[in-house]
């Protein structure tokens, strides 16, 4: 690990000011991903600004009828919160299905959103990687990519986004509150994360100095009927091969509304907007769910060794929606 | 940097490099080698300690972030000469073989039982919005961040189940 | 030898679930593992490793590393004072690479510095110029194609062992299959570590986590150019082994650096380095053809097993011997034509891992038995019963099984154990848990069986022995026993067992286990499930010798004939206590050292594989019950049941732990564990990408442990650690096949193999 300076922020504004001036500085939240990446040499900031004691760590009801979750809330606390569990079970389930109890106690909501990919080439500094070193190439396209993207990838990057939480937030249409050089603003999800295109080193639309201060969940009554399902290579403590976050509003056997996002299949938490629009007004049947999944996955461009994710994603999606349709 | 570290209720004014993790500080500076370095990437759980009563992976925690926190390691679980019930349970149920993961398993299970007592759900809780019931499935899921390569899992479940009752 | 039997029960003797003497230290964090060792002024070692699986080394420039402040030594092969090569079986591996590298991760130089980070940075400053060559990574060509380039000058076949029995290779029913086993890692949680301390006599003291101190010593000393007595080893706490510590890792490097700098040097590998720093389980390519009568009785087996040994030989010869001799499993087969090959490639070196050779073959032959059952319309248990060996049968090598082999009853027993309740409606019980499961109808239950046969102890004529020194004296007015062996406690509970044996044999409750070191004779390796047998036998024999001398002493001091030792007391013929052990001993000390050998074994014939190669066989039968989400490819192992014959239970709770653990590692191989190698490069050297079972993956177990004594073994015991690793894998895969109808020819099974896409 390269030497770095450590500074504990005293307030959000000064933290933002510091980072705005120092491109070699980064924010430190729970550190579960950043410290690991620094140890691997993937990132080598010269300064860490610890924001864990200044970023809000509370969960409260928002003016719009939703929830305002401070970016400093630890993932463990997020899953313990009665409002989250009662109104947005998909979010609690998504976070609970990620990492381990210990890591969830450390990781913050803001940091979770900004996790870097677990693509093994990104993690291995002896290998080229356009995300880590722009222009160096992407060995994953021809190499080991079984667990990489089938959607939204580009010729320069086929990585997947690793977060479970972000998939649920993308489905729920959360709004990310950001404090930046020019003051506060909001970024809706999906939209925080960006597709790699020819700039895969930029995971998000955030600008230098931007600090995530909160995540706002919109009022979404039917999210009480929501679920996260994750397929992985072992029963627990593993990243998603494919995951689905969904909420379903059904009346008289007809889908009134729905929210769907896919994880483990794209460089971003993938909001399945095509599937959603195909389902609104459709019968809440497995056949219709399958049709909607097919429409969404028609965009898939699997690589040599990850074609299995296409039908797998379809099966997970149909399974989740069917369960939700049958749930009381 | 100077840090005031409180470990097992002992105060340690120490000077650390900003790069130092809590795990390295405990092991190299404070001679508390109970917490183990199994992977140094947060993937095995052998380094688990309690920070303000919550279980965390000390290999991913920078020591400079830890002042004014209360840290408990496996060396601090016993009450004087009386072993913690989980320590006694691990011996009674032979819940380890090589023992390398054991300090992490113990700290993790202490933290896990506290989370459970506080009503936290897990991903196997049938209704995530309701209070969980501590059965074997819950113990297994909640302890899945602590790998045991000897495969003493069956006995770990038994030891924690007994202590959790 | 005395014929006195100790009949009075002694607390925590043989047969009791005695607590581990190191248990309290392990739960308090005080137990000192190799990585916990520390000495004032010690240096930290680091290793520069090749990034290429095959390359010529054109030049090595140490200048930058040597200039770095804090660096005290940078050594290459030129600094190795003695033999340049070492190896556990034969010396083919350079201590540090000489002009070429044969696998990714091969050590080229070692550095000692005042801080681990400094040592690592120094490694990065060493400039190596390589001529990168195309790696030789095809084990089948290495085995069978003489035109394939050679990894070593002597050729690519490390060992080819045929088995030739009979001449009838036609049958009414023929089933064939090609199977593949991925490369499994031992993945012990305590990475390789040790501390080398230079001694005043010009020698070195090494504190290290290993499986066999003396074989380490035998390899280290020649490379250091020292006589063995100047290379003294002491066992440090071992954080798991499973075969991976049978070969040297950092031992010679740390000693070289310590002798070169005159300072203690500690080397501790990180997790990633550990994946490159030890041998793995041989991946296998297997072809089987089983011919049988219509009622499922085997007529012949043809087979080919190719084991990829990677760049250096390690234990490959013994792995091939196991795969060949046990390659048709515990079945009576009148005609066999089987060839097992172990080969060199530029893939990662492979060697010992729990059950080696037998594990790979077991997946093949048990999968074949299931195919045969299907072809004959038989139940999988029934087809096994019709072919299983029993006491008096011959195995593939012609060796007669001259000990109980109750496979038929074991199979019936495991089959008849109660099954767990049907597919659960509780979502938490379904594959992937509540958040993951498909609703009920997507879940299919499957049941599968597997049997394994494992040779216990070293085979094929190896002089396999252990040494124990037992000392009896009075300490604080009480009789006390000190047991000293060089046997490595790796978590299996051998220290517990040695104390139990001493208590039983001498009736003295107060037993201390001395640290294992090379100040006593070799104990052999903590592998091949052999330590209870061989070191247990040595401790028992040494205790018997001590007992004999104690009684001689008692006869002399008490002027009494016909004395015996019972319940820790000296008793007369009529059973009356005449003295305590302490009273007889007084200031005398009785110390005896004994070597114990199991009965001799013979090499296998090079052309036919025939010979009495093994000293003992052990058997385990598994039944696996799985629920498979066929749409998502998720497998939940609902229950694993095992029946194992251990001859004699020495410590019930520790034994159960061995069966649990062996079963868990077999589960890992079945469902998730594989070092992925592409072009000789390891793609997943981390616990994020190399997955081992979590506590959630491991189901409850139902165990039935049998005690049919082996008349040749101490107490009638059988080695127990490996057999469950063999049979759990095929049982689980068979259960998944039963649930899905998929053929599943390769392990580990992944979700996409189940969803079939």
DSSP symbol at B29: I
- Intra-chain end-to-end CA distance of chain C, in Å: 67
pLDDT of residue A75: 98
Domain B2-76 has CATH 3.60.150.10: no
Which distant-in-sequence residues (6+ apart) come within 8 Å of C595 by Cβ? C465, C466, C467, C521, C538
Q: Which member of A234, A310, A319 has the closest CB to residue C672?
A: A234
φ and ψ at residue C451, rounded to 5 degrees:
-125, 145
User: In this structure, are residues C607 and C429 in contact, taking their beta carbons and an 8 Å threshold?
Assistant: no
- Position of tokens 């599937």? A275
Rounded Cα distance, A173 and A176, in Å: 10
For residue A52, which residues of chain B lie inside 8 Å, CB to CB? Answer: 65
Q: Which of C436, C672, C753 to mutate to test the interface with A (most CBs of A within 10 A)?
A: C436
Give the domain ranges of chain A. Answer: 5-53, 228-326
User: In this structure, are residues C382 and C296 in contact, taking their beta carbons and an 8 Å threshold?
Assistant: yes
Q: Which of C276, C683, C752 to mutate to test the interface with A (most CBs of A within 10 A)?
A: C752
What the block records as the tokens of A291 is: 């049709």
User: In this structure, are residues C132 and C52 in contact, taking their beta carbons and an 8 Å threshold?
Assistant: yes
**The CATH fold of domain A228-326:** Enolase-like; domain 1 (3.30.390)
Ordered mean pLDDT values, 10 residues apiece, chain C (757 residues) = 50 96 98 97 98 98 98 98 96 98 98 96 98 98 98 97 98 98 98 98 98 98 98 98 98 98 98 98 98 98 98 98 98 98 98 98 98 98 98 98 98 97 65 55 92 98 98 96 98 98 96 98 98 98 98 94 90 91 96 98 98 98 96 94 98 98 98 97 96 97 98 98 98 97 97 83
Asked whether the beta carbons of residue A35 and residue B21 sit closer than 8 angstroms, the reply is yes
Q: Which of B35, B83, B149, B159 to mutate to test the interface with C (most CBs of C within 10 A)?
A: B149
Instruction: Of C341, C471, C345, C453, give the one whose Cα is nearest residue C396.
Output: C453
Burial class (CB in 10 A: 0-12, 13-18, 19+), C576: exposed
Residues of chain A whose beta carbon is less than 8 angstroms from a beta carbon of chain C are 1, 93, 96-97, 118, 120, 123, 126, 143-144, 227-239, 241, 307-308, 310-312, 315-316, 319, 322-323, 326
pLDDT of residue A214: 98
DSSP string, C31-59: S-BGGG---TT-EEEEEEE-SSSSEEEEE
Task: Compute the half-sphere exposure of residue C407: CA atoms within 13 Å on the CB side of its CA.
Answer: 30
Strands C298-308 and C284-292: antiparallel
Strands A67-70 and A211-217: antiparallel
φ and ψ at residue C69, rounded to 5 degrees:
-60, 135
pLDDT of residue C618: 98
Q: Which CATH number fits domain B85-164: 1.10.150.120, 1.10.238.10, 3.40.50.2300, 3.20.20.70?
A: 1.10.150.120
Asked whether the beta carbons of residue A236 and residue C697 sit closer than 8 angstroms, the reply is yes
User: In this structure, are residues A319 and C631 in contact, taking their beta carbons and an 8 Å threshold?
Assistant: yes
pLDDT of residue B164: 87
Q: How far is C434 from chain A (nearest CA, A)?
A: 9
Rounded Cα distance, C114 and C579, in Å: 59
In A, minimum Cα distance to C631 occurs at: A315
Which distant-in-sequence residues (6+ apart) come within 8 Å of C146 by Cβ? none
B128 — contact with chain A (CB < 8 Å)?
yes
Burial class (CB in 10 A: 0-12, 13-18, 19+), A24: exposed
For residue B140, which residues of chain C lie inside 8 Å, CB to CB? Answer: 694-696, 698
CATH of domain A5-53: 3.30.43.10
Rounded Cα distance, A149 and A271, in Å: 14
pLDDT of residue C4: 41
What the block records as the tokens of C364 is: 């093949």
pLDDT of residue C2: 40
For residue B17, which residues of chain A lie inside 8 Å, CB to CB? Answer: 3
Rounded Cα distance, A101 and A104, in Å: 5
Strands B70-72 and B2-7: parallel
pLDDT of residue C430: 61
Rounded Cα distance, A263 and A266, in Å: 7
What the block records as the tokens of B16 is: 């650390």
Tell me how many degrees the CA angle C102-C361-C152 measures, rounded to the nearest 5: 20
For residue C438, which residues of chain A lie inside 8 Å, CB to CB? Answer: 315, 319, 323
Is it the case that residue A78 has pLDDT exceeding 80? yes
Sketch out chain C's domains with CATH numbers.
Answer: 23-31+465-597 (3.30.365.10), 34-134+191-238+245-277 (3.90.1170.50), 280-459+603-755 (3.30.365.10)
DSSP symbol at B21: B
pLDDT of residue C432: 59
**Mind spelling out the 3-state secondary structure of C519-549?**
CCCCCCCCCCCCHHHHHHHHHHHHHHHHHHH
Q: How big, in percent rounded to 5, are the helix, strand and coil portions of chain C?
A: 30, 30, 45
Rounded Cα distance, B119 and A7, in Å: 35
Q: Which of A233, A293, A310, A327 to mutate to test the interface with C (most CBs of C within 10 A)?
A: A233
Instruction: Please check whether the two domains, A5-53 and A228-326, share a CATH topology.
Output: no
For residue B33, which residues of chain C lie inside 8 Å, CB to CB? Answer: 29, 32-33, 36
- Weakly modelled stretches of chain B, pLDDT under 50: none
Give the domain ranges of chain B. Answer: 2-76, 85-164
What the block records as the tokens of C445 is: 């239950």
Q: Determine which helix (DSSP H) or strand (DSSP E) holds B111, and give its type and residue range.
A: helix B102-117
R_g of chain B computed on alpha carbons: 16
Asked whether the beta carbons of residue C632 and residue A233 sit closer than 8 angstroms, the reply is no
Strands B2-7 and B48-51: unpaired
Confidence band of A327 (pLDDT split at 50, 70, 90): confident
What the block records as the tokens of C392 is: 């008096």
All partners of chain B with 3 or more CB pairs under 8 angstroms: A, C
User: In this structure, are residues C673 and C613 in contact, taking their beta carbons and an 8 Å threshold?
Assistant: no
* Polymer length in residues for chain A: 328
């Amino acid at each position: 690990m390269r030497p770095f300076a450590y500074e504990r922020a005293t307030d959000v504004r000064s933290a933002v000011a510091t980072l705005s001036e120092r491109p070699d500085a980064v924010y430190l939240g729970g550190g579960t991903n950043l410290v690991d990446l620094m140890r691997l040499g993937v990132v080598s900031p010269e300064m860490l600004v610890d924001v864990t004691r200044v970023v809000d760590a509370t969960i409260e009801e928002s003016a719009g009828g939703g929830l305002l979750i401070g970016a400093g809330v630890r993932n463990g606390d997020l899953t313990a919160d009665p409002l989250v569990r009662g109104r947005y079970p998909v979010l609690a389930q998504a976070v609970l299905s990620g990492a381990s109890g210990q890591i969830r106690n450390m990781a913050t909501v803001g940091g979770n959103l900004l996790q870097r990919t677990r693509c093994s080439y990104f993690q291995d500094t002896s290998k080229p990687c356009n995300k880590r070193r722009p222009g160096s190439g992407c060995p994953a396209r021809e190499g080991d990519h079984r667990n990489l993207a089938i959607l939204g990838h580009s010729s320069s990057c086929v990585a997947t986004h690793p977060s479970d939480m972000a998939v649920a937030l993308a489905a729920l249409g959360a709004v990310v509150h950001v404090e930046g050089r020019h003051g506060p603003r909001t970024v809706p999800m999906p939209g925080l994360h960006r597709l790699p295109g020819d700039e895969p080193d930029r995971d998000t639309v955030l600008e230098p100095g931007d600090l995530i201060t909160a995540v706002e969940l919109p009022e979404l009554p039917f999210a009480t009927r929501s679920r996260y399902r994750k397929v992985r290579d072992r029963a627990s403590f593993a990243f998603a091969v494919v995951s689905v976050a969904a909420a379903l509003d059904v009346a008289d056997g007809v889908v009134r509304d729905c929210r769907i996002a896919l994880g483990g299949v794209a460089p971003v938490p993938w909001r399945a907007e095509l599937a959603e629009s195909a389902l609104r007004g459709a019968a809440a049947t497995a056949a219709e769910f399958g049709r909607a999944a097919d429409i969404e996955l028609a965009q898939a461009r699997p690589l040599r060794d990850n074609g299995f994710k296409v039908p797998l994603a379809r099966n997970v999606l149909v399974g989740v929606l069917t369960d939700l349709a049958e749930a009381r | 940097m100077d840090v005031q570290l409180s470990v097992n209720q002992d105060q340690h004014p120490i000077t650390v490099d900003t790069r130092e993790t809590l795990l390295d500080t405990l092991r190299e500076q404070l001679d508390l080698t109970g917490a183990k370095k199994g992977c140094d990437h947060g993937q095995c759980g052998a380094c688990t300690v309690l920070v303000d009563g919550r279980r965390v992976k000390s290999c991913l925690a920078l020591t400079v972030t830890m002042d004014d926190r209360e840290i408990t390691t496996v060396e601090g679980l016993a009450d004087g000469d009386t072993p913690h019930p989980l320590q006694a349970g691990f011996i009674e149920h032979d819940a380890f073989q090589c023992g390398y993961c054991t300090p992490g398993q113990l700290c993790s299970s202490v933290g896990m039982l506290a989370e459970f007592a506080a009503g936290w759900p897990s991903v196997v809780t049938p209704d995530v919005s309701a209070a969980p019931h501590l059965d074997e499935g819950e113990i297994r899921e909640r302890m899945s961040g602590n790998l045991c390569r000897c495969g003493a899992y069956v006995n770990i479940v038994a030891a924690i189940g007994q202590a959790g009752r | 030898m005395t014929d006195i039997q100790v009949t009075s029960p002694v607390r925590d003797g043989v047969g009791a679930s005695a607590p581990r003497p190191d248990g309290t230290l392990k739960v308090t964090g005080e137990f000192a593992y190799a990585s916990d060792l520390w000495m004032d002024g010690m240096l930290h070692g680091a290793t520069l490793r090749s990034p290429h699986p095959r390359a010529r080394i054109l030049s090595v420039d140490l200048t930058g590393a040597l200039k770095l402040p804090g660096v005290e030594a940078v050594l290459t092969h030129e600094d190795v004072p003695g033999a340049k090569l070492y190896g556990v079986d034969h010396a083919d591996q350079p201590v540090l690479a000489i002009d070429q590298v044969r696998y990714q991760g091969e050590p080229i130089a070692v550095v000692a510095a005042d801080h681990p980070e400094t040592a690592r940075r120094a490694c990065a400053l060493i400039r190596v110029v390589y001529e990168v060559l195309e790696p030789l990574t095809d084990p089948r060509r290495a085995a069978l194609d003489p035109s394939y380039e050679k990894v070593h000058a002597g050729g690519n076949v490390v060992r080819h062992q045929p088995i030739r029995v009979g001449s009838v290779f036609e049958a009414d029913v023929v089933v064939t299959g090609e199977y593949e086993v991925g490369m499994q890692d031992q993945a012990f949680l305590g990475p390789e570590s040790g501390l080398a301390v230079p001694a005043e006599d010009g020698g070195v003291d090494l504190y290290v986590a290993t499986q066999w101190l003396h074989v380490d010593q035998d390899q280290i000393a020649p490379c250091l150019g020292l006589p063995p007595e100047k290379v003294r080893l002491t066992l440090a706490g071992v954080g798991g082994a499973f075969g991976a510590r049978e070969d040297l890792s950092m031992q010679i490097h740390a000693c070289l650096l310590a002798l070169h700098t005159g300072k203690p040097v500690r080397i501790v590998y990180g997790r990633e380095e550990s994946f490159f720093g030890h041998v793995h389980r041989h991946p296998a390519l297997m072809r089987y053809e089983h011919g049988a009568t219509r009622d499922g009785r085997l007529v012949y087996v043809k087979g080919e097993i190719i084991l990829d040994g990677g760049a250096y030989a390690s234990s490959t010869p013994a792995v091939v011997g196991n795969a060949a001799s046990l390659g048709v499993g515990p079945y009576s087969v009148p005609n066999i034509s089987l060839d097992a090959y172990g080969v060199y490639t530029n893939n990662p070196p492979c060697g010992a891992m729990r059950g080696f050779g037998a594990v790979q073959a077991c997946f093949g032959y048990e999968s074949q038995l299931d195919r045969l059952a299907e072809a004959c319309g038989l139940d999988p248990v029934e087809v096994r019963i019709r072919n299983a060996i029993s006491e008096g049968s011959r195995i593939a090598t012609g060796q007669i099984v001259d000990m109980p082999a109750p496979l038929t009853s074991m199979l019936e027993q495991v089959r008849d154990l109660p099954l767990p309740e049907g597919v659960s409606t509780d979502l938490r019980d379904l594959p992937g848990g509540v958040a993951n499961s498909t609703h009920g109808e997507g879940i299919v239950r499957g049941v599968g069986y597997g049997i394994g046969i494992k040779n216990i102890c070293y085979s094929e004529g190896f002089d396999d022995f252990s040494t124990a020194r037992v000392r009896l004296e009075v300490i604080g007015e009480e009789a006390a026993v000190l047991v000293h062996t060089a046997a490595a406690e790796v978590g299996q509970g051998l220290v517990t067992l040695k104390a139990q044996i001493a208590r039983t044999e001498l009736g003295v409750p107060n037993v201390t286990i001395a640290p294992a070191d090379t100040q006593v004779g070799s104990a052999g390796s903590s592998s091949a499930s052999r330590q209870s047998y061989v070191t247990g036998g040595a401790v028992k024999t040494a205790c018997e010798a001590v007992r004999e001398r104690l009684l001689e002493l008692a006869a002399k001091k008490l002027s009494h004939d016909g004395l015996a030792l019972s319940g820790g007391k000296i008793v007369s013929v009529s059973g009356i206590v005449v003295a305590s052990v302490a009273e007889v001993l007084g200031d005398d000390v009785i110390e005896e050292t004994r070597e114990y050998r199991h009965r001799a074994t013979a090499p296998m014939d090079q052309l036919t594989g025939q010979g009495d190669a093994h000293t003992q066989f052990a058997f385990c039968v598994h039944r696996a019950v799985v629920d498979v989400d066929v749409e998502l490819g998720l497998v939940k192992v609902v229950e694993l049941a095992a029946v194992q014959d251990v001859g004699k239970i020495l410590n019930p709770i520790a034994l159960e732990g061995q069966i649990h653990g062996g079963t868990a590692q077999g589960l890992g191989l079945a469902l998730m564990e594989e070092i992925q190698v592409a072009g000789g490069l390891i793609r997943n050297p981390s616990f994020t990408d190399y997955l081992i079972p979590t506590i959630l993956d491991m189901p409850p177990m139902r165990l039935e442990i049998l005690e049919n004594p082996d008349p040749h073994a101490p107490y009638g015991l059988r080695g127990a650690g490996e057999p469950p690793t063999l049979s759990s894998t095929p049982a689980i895969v068979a259960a998944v096949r039963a649930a899905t109808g998929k053929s599943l020819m390769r392990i580990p099974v992944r979700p996409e193999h189940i969803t079939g896409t």
